[in-house]
Amino acid sequence: MIAPPYQEDRSVLRDALFKALSDGTRRALLEYLVREGEQSVHALTAISGVSQPMVSRHLGKLKQARLVTARRAGRETYYTARAKGLAPVVQWMAVYGALWSQRFSALEGLGDGE
């Protein structure tokens, strides 16, 4: 069965989100942006413990996954976390969380018959 194009787009975005969030450095950068607000690449490099090219690469992955936005100001690029960017992950977790909750409840019910 072939999925409609809009479902494929959502699947590609969800895959990019999970891939972006699978890296600890990217999660730390995103968490910092959420806590502290807009930051320059220079500032993020200073707190990250990795080189500027690596920070830029990680931010590029976060941007591709729509978790951050970027704006240029002179020679510097500033990044901001996108709160709505996590919505597809939250939706996915809600669906599968409910499914697993039902399965665990069914397993617990099996022990009641003894």
Would you kindly state where each structural domain of the chain is located, as residue ranges? 5-111
Full DSSP string of 16-52:
HHHHHHTSHHHHHHHHHHHHH-SEEHHHHHHHHSS-H
pLDDT by residue (tens digit) across 35-94? 999 999 999 999 999 999 999 999 999 999 999 999 999 999 999 999 888 888 888 888
What global pTM score does this model have? 0.74
Cα distances (angstroms) measured from residue 34 to each of 51, 55, 75, 107, 112? 21, 16, 23, 38, 45
DSSP state of 4: P
Reported residue count of the chain is 114
Whether domain 5-111 has CATH 1.10.10.10: the reply is yes
Residue 89 is predicted with a pLDDT of 82
Residue 2 is predicted with a pLDDT of 54
Q: What is the dihedral of CA 42, 48, 51, 54, to 10 degrees?
A: -100
